Amino acid sequence: MSWKSYIDELRKRERLAEKMGGEEPVARQRSRGKLTIRERVAFVADPGSFQEIGKISGRATYNDDQEMEDFLPANMVIGRAKIGGKSAVILGDDFTVRGGAADASIWQKMVMAEQMAHEYRLPLVRLVDGTGGGGSVKMFEKDPRTYIPETPGWNWVIDNMGEIPVVSLALGPCAGLGAGRVGASHYSVMVKDLSQVFVAGPPVARAIGEDVTKEELGGWKIQARNGTVDEAVETEGEAFEKVRQFLSYLPSSVHERAERTQPTDDPNRRDEKLIDIVPTDGRTPYKPRKIIDSCVDKGSFFEIGRYWGKSLVTGFARIDGFPVGIMAGDPFFLDGAWTADTCEKVIRHVDLCDTFHLPIIHFVDCPGFAVGVKHETAGVTRKGVRAMAAVYQAKVPTCAIVVRKAYGLAGSAMMNPSRTKWRYCWPSGDWGSLPMAGGIEAAYRKEISEADDPDAFLDQLYKKFEAIKSPFRTAEAFLAEDIIDPRDTRPKLVDFVHHADRVIEAGRKHKAFRP
């Protein structure tokens, strides 16, 4: 006797699973410009590497002879794969089966994927396209009772934030648990005009008096600009490429070190344009991304969070092949002042780098926390203190390049100054407890008013204090450790990352990444 008939039955069920929700739902999915879950997995995984788990799980109906009459697969596909050569776990919603809702799911699949990634220390990629929560009220027809809410496996979701890289792609309307899974990530991406993220959709919003579309409620212009997601791209293909890029800078888990790639750039390269990239008037803005690109390995800068907290640029890069975290003040936005959302961005990025052991390079240009009623209303004081706490709690080495301004509490949070200061200052550096501009007139109001020639007296005061704020005066007192030629920045950073590599250790931090 052979087991061939059982294998034939297995293959039959596998073919049924590959049909997903059926021809009509699949056609609707594609008519919306969306890929199916199986197409998405094929795109994000290295060719031929996906090993599916629980492929034939779903809901079957049987006739009186106990022969299967119909089969609807579970609306989540999970498995292991290689992504950019690294082993990872993938779990993806199938919107063709009841819109990815929980009443068509087998929740154990999601929990298993999260748990497997955690226990086997594998990066996790979620392809989110559906609610994944309570589903439709029609479920009460089959099970006429309510329940006290629980979220099975959420302990793994939270614990994973301190153990493994977690990436979530919003690839359709993501509500409830779907939205929660997008938010509980180290890196998240939306596809413009294709995906939305919200606590509950337009029908629920209408019940509280808000008549809005899905895009108006949770489109990328809202969620990428408030920091709920980190990136918004034009196509699903771009989203899959972002996954590969993001993971390439990180270890598979906190128990490993991020991989150094073979250097392809001259460690001693000096970029001549850095000598005059910062205007000498101290006011005209410059483009910090040009400074970053000049100092890191060519083409290696990967920006994160470009749509929000715009007074600070954050991302990853490589220096002589070593992955590093990047922070840079952007004077094009409030002169680089830290707003409430910029402070949240600082917290998120410093935590990310600290969790996965990436040294941080901070190109400093910060006139302090943003001032005014608008910013106080947004909670800049509390959030600013939290941002400072994140910087002080981080254990990874930080190198500060003081490009221009460093004022007040926010300016002091360029690094943890209680640790060895690895810091280089450009001649354009301008620092203090508060800017002198405006302060001179206030401090010398009486003397100015009594002077024979107030304008000449004020001019003399400005010349005096201009000399006092010279960075060389600060360096004389060893309060600025080194003033360097801006063109020497890259070689200095190469030296820094090699020394940082000596002291960075793998392992879980005492505090986990905060979603």
318-362, pLDDT tens digit by residue? 999 999 999 999 999 999 999 999 999 999 999 999 999 999 999
Region 105-121: mean pLDDT is 93
Distances (CA, A) of 68 to 10, 134, 226: 12, 28, 49
Contact 195, 171 (CB under 8 A): yes
Q: Judge whether 359 and 324 are in contact, CB under 8 Å.
A: yes
**What's this model's pTM, rounded to 2 decimal places?**
0.92
Predicted confidence at residue 61, as pLDDT, reads: 87
Domain boundaries, the chain: 4-248, 272-434+470-503
* Single-letter amino acid code for the residue at 296: V
What fold does the segment set 272-434+470-503 form as a domain?
2-enoyl-CoA Hydratase; Chain A, domain 1 (3.90.226)
User: Which fold does the domain 4-248 belong to in CATH?
Assistant: 2-enoyl-CoA Hydratase; Chain A, domain 1 (3.90.226)
Backbone torsions φ then ψ of 17, nearest 5 degrees: -65, -35
Residues 6+ apart with CB under 8 A from 253: 121, 122, 123, 163, 164, 165
Query: What digits encode the pLDDT tens for the residues 21-58?
Result: 899 999 999 999 999 999 999 999 999 999 999 999 99
* Coil, strand or helix at 432: strand
Written as one string, the DSSP assignment of 40-51 is HHHHHSPTT--E
Pick the residue with more confidence: 108 or 321?
A: 321
> Over the stretch 290-321, which tens digit does the pLDDT of each residue have?
999 999 999 999 999 999 999 999 999 999 99
Residue 413: per-residue pLDDT: 94
Locus of tokens 């979620």: 126
Q: What is the mean pLDDT of the chain?
A: 92
pLDDT of residue 104: 56
Average pLDDT, stretch 446-465?
80
Do 297 and 319 contact (CB within 8 A), yes or no?
Answer: yes
Q: Stretch 179-190: mean pLDDT, rounded?
A: 96
Q: How confident is the model at residue 391 (pLDDT cuts 50, 70, 90)?
A: very high
Q: What span, in angstroms and rounded, lies between the C-alpha atoms of 105 and 121? A: 25
3-state class (DSSP) for residue 180: helix
What percentage of residues in the chain have a pLDDT greater than 70? 95
Q: Do domains 4-248 and 272-434+470-503 have the same CATH topology?
A: yes
Contacts 24+ apart (CB under 8 A), 1-4: none
Measure the CA–CA gap between 440 and 176, rounded to whole angstroms. 55
Is the pLDDT reported for residue 234 higher than 60?
yes
